[in-house]
Amino acid sequence: MAVLLYCRAGFEGECAAEIQERAASLGVYGYCKTQPDSALVIFECKPEEGDHLARKISVHSLIFSRQLFVRAAELNQLDTMDRVTPIVESLADMQLCGRMWIETTDTNDGRSLSALCRTITKPLTKALREKGVLAKEEVNNRPVLHVLFRSTHSAIIGYSYSYNHSPYLMGIPRIRTPKGAPSRSAAKLAEAFKVMIPESEFERRVQPGMKAVDLGACPGGWTSVLVHYDMMVAAVDNGPMDEGLMNTGQVRHYQEDGFQFLPKRKNVAWLVCDMVEKPKRVAQLMADWFIGEWCHDAIFNLKLPMKSRYTAVQQDLAAIRERLSEAEVYGYELSAKHLYHDREEITVYLRKKFKS
Ligand SMILES: C[S@@+](CC[C@H](N)C(=O)[O-])C[C@H]1O[C@@H](n2cnc3c(N)ncnc32)[C@H](O)[C@@H]1O
């Protein structure tokens, strides 16, 4: 048995280290198969253990994985004239699934297979419905069937649980940035809002009129996301802010050092920070804002080093926890994700669980 994990190409090592550590914490010891830049990690383990991991390891809590599913079949010599029949035959023991995602890895090789994915969708759906593997209509409360094409003649097929998977095809959310956003960085904060805040909580956590502080704001991509949600933003950066954003009347620009800036009042709901700085310094600053009760929620980037990225991330997150614990600050949530729009950085979300 095995679980498959999708990640950004080039981050297979981090993804593998993380699944190995998390599986070991559940008493599951396996090994990873992967290739550089394949955007895929296969964690091989004993029968039944893959299913156990898919139920127990929260996909949301994995930093470097976009998706996790259990392998049910692997077909390496598909007849390119009829791929449907062997796929259906390989799934004789499959439980009823609520929907199917036909996927590729997020690589150039993967993208070259997207036409095949489109053309096979209809006939494969029909055949799997007739076989009773797929529900007659798409339903959300059943497992998702993943058909991962690795080449024109090979596919890995498996399933993920609807209560524990990324709800997006290939684990990649579609992100809309505000119209006229002055930098592409806007997509990072927009994605963090979409992926890291549970949908059921969004309205409560992101409200019009909230006060926000954006450290390292220029030219204003992240600020544009906060403005889009009708927040009032203190944008802190020595650089120039986008004029259109300043004209909204929702932004005040402070040409100050983000490490020195503090708001006049303790009424800030959101702190966001995209300063290009040493991760340890940023982590410390974010913890200090929490200890001082200067904000309620914070989203920030931690840049990754060139080497030992997984260890560095663990150390940075541990440093935040330690600093908060030393200051006897409890009752917070800390989560981190290597988002689709993140490259050499991860995005961290720190929030107080209770309103003070
Ligand atoms: C990656 S850019 C931010 C992009 C921005 N989030 C956006 O969406 O447009 C990093 C910014 O951090 C700012 N910065 C770096 N160190 C800073 C500091 N100590 N105080 C304030 N701003 C800082 C830089 O001037 C730069 O504009």
Assigned domain for 52 exists = yes
* Domain membership of residue 89 as a residue range: 2-171
- Dig out the tokens for 111 from the structure: 């993208």
Assigned domain for 107 exists = yes
Assigned domain for 254 exists = yes
Q: Is the CB of 342 under 6 A from ligand 1?
A: no
Cα of 8 from ligand 1 centre, angstroms: 24
Assigned domain for 43 exists = yes
C-alpha 318/C-alpha 299 separation (Å) is: 17
Residues 216, 330, single domain; the answer is yes
Best residue among 224, 272, 274 to mutate for probing ligand 1's pocket (most ligand atoms within 8 Å of CB) is 274
Q: Out of 142, 171, 200, pick the residue that ends a domain.
A: 171
Whose CA is closest to 287, among 217, 223, 348? Answer: 348
Laid out side by side, the sheet with 211-215 consists of 251-254, 232-236, 211-215, 268-273, 295-303, 345-352, 332-337
Assigned domain for 180 exists = no
303 is catalytic: yes
Q: Out of 108, 140, 171, pick the residue that ends a domain.
A: 171
Residues 30, 162, single domain; the answer is yes
Residues 153, 41, single domain; the answer is yes
Residues 111, 49, single domain; the answer is yes
Assigned domain for 178 exists = no
Residues 164, 204, single domain; the answer is no
Residues 297, 333, single domain; the answer is yes
pLDDT in tens, 13-36: 999 999 999 999 999 999 999 999
Number of domain units in the chain: 2
Residues 40, 112, single domain; the answer is yes
Assigned domain for 179 exists = no
pLDDT in tens, 204-221: 999 999 999 999 999 999
Determine the angle formed by the axes of helices 12-25 and 49-56, rounding to 10 degrees.
100
Residues 230, 265, single domain; the answer is yes
pLDDT in tens, 294-347: 999 999 999 998 899 999 999 999 999 999 999 999 999 999 999 999 999 999
Find the CATH number of the domain harbouring 115.
3.30.2300.20
The pLDDT mean for the chain works out to 97
Residues 167, 239, single domain; the answer is no
Neighbours of 307 (CB within 10 A): 7
What confidence tier does 355 reach under pLDDT thresholds 50, 70, 90?
A: low
pLDDT in tens, 109-157: 999 999 999 999 999 999 999 999 999 999 999 999 999 999 999 999 9
Does 87 have pLDDT greater than 60?
yes
C-alpha 5/C-alpha 48 separation (Å) is: 17
One-character DSSP codes across 82-141: B-HHHHHHTTTTPPPBSEEEEE--SSHHHHTTHHHHHHHHHHHHHHHHHTTSB-SS--SS
Average pLDDT over residues 59-87: 97
- The answer to whether 54 and 3 are in contact (CB under 8 A) is yes
Residues 42, 161, single domain; the answer is yes
Assigned domain for 177 exists = no
Find the CATH number of the domain harbouring 254.
3.40.50.150
Average pLDDT over residues 186-205: 97
Q: Is the CB of 216 under 6 A from ligand 1?
A: yes
Q: What is the pLDDT of residue 344?
A: 96
Residues 232, 193, single domain; the answer is yes
Q: Is the CB of 237 under 6 A from ligand 1?
A: yes
Q: Give the N- to C-terminal CA distance of the chain in Å, as an integer.
A: 47
Q: Out of 171, 201, 227, pick the residue that ends a domain.
A: 171
Q: Is the CB of 222 under 6 A from ligand 1?
A: yes
Residues 128, 224, single domain; the answer is no
